[in-house]
Every structure is written in structure tokens, then in C-alpha cells.
Amino acid sequence: MRIDSPGGSSIASDVIWRELTVTKNEKPGRPLVASMSDLAASGGYYVAMAAPLIVAQPATLTGSIGIFGGKFVTGGAFEKIGANIEGVIIGRNAGLESPDRPFTESERQKLREQIGSFYKGFVEKVAASRKLPVERVEELAQGRVWTGAQAHGRGLVDALGGLDRAIALAKERAGIAPETVVEVVTYPARRTLAELLIEELTGGGEDRQMEAVISVLGGLRTAELRALGMLTAPARLFNPGEPLALMPYGF
């Protein structure tokens, strides 16, 4: 299982973790290996801990065992443009996620309880999966982010390496000869260069006519080929399996 995720929905993470755990328990002899790419933080690490063996790159951003919550209050912004929000709420905390006003004290306390409950469960799951005392996991948790090398030294990761290393370990555990060629299935399906360019330039990949034109590279002029080369240059700067991190507004 390849993971490249900074986390996100606590519910989605828990659903994925459960399905992986069921898959692992149904056939104990079937190895489950998690391979961390650029990122496996928070929810990304949550799903990884379902695997008995976790492999990370030395520079993978991982850990971030923690959870936070809140909301953006936009009611004042809507008032400035003459819009009005009204709601019908039944129950003391039913409007907890309403964007038109801040939390009431009761709602704030309920949110704290929800966050605390999930965080406690997160720490306990890590302790069980990594065979560490809860107190030790608490020292490593609290939202701290580690590199893969640091996580390896702290027991959060079992081995260092890329996807090839993870596949080799999976073969070993499954009793498959190292020289045997195996099929790696990628989800979702890889997109063509034309589809990626269309999505980047137009915000969507639905223009099939444009895709057909771009795909006929033989018909492009020298200047157009040069422009295409400039657009794809970043992808040629790195080696397969090398960890990358895409930061906001930069490559």
C-alpha cells in the first residue's frame, strides 16, 4: 500500500484503517506493507499503522499524530455584501458547524470533547500497532512531524527506502522469489501528459479535442516543443522513488 497524504478527514482515515485491519486479519499469512512517499502525516500515518511493516524514505514527512478542529466564521463577510443567513436549529449543539457565527461555550466544549476522544484513540492505536507504551507514544505525538529517518529511530517506522524496497520486503514476507516480476497496480489510473496539461491550463480534463491536438506531438513546431519541454522540466529533475514535497505556491 502506497501512501502520499498529509491527512485530512478523521472519519475517512478511520474507515481506511478499519478496512486494512479487516483485510490483514482475514488472511494473516497475506503480508501488508505500507510504503510512505513524500507525506504520511496525521491521517496518512493513521492508515499506515494498520500495516505490520512500514517503510519510509529518509526524508518522508511523517508522524503528526494529532488532531485539530475549528471553523471559519463567514457571517460578517456575507453581511458586507448584503447576504443574510438564517437557520433552524433543534438541539443545544446542533449549530456547532454553522459558519455564520462563532462557537457558543457549549459548542466549544463539545468540540474539545470530540477532538480529545479521537486523539486518545489515535494514540492508543499507534501504541498497539507499534507495540509501544502509551506514554512513549504521547511523547512522540502531540502533532509533532518527523522525517522518515527520525521516525525510524523512534519506532514509528520499520525500514527506510522507497517503493522498490517495500515491494522487496512484501515479496520476502509472501515467499515470492526476489527475481519474480510482480505487477504494481496504481489507483487512480495514471493520466496522460495531455490530460495533465489540459487540467493545469483549463482547470479540467474534459476537452477531448484539445487533448487530441496536444497528443499529436509530431505536428508541433519547434517553439511549441520548447514550451512543452519547459512545462515538463520539473518532472525530469528528480529520480524515481526520490521524496518530494509540494509546498504552497511553489514546486
The answer to pTM > 0.85 is no
Total H helices, total E strands in the chain: 10, 6
Which H/E stretch holds residue 33? Answer: strand 33-41
pLDDT score at 85: 80
Active site residues: 42
Is the pLDDT assigned to residue 211 strictly greater than 70? no
pLDDT tens per residue across span 36-85: 999 999 999 999 999 999 999 999 999 999 998 888 888 888 888 888 88
Percent of residues, the chain, with pLDDT higher than 70 = 80
pLDDT of residue 250: 40
Residue with the larger pLDDT of the pair 226 and 170:
170
pLDDT band of residue 219 (cuts 50, 70, 90) is low
Domain at 2-64+144-174: CATH code: 3.90.226.10
Confidence of residue 129 (pLDDT cuts 50, 70, 90): very high
Q: Where are the domains of the chain?
A: 2-64+144-174, 193-236
Q: How many CB atoms are located within 10 Å of the residue 124 CB?
A: 12
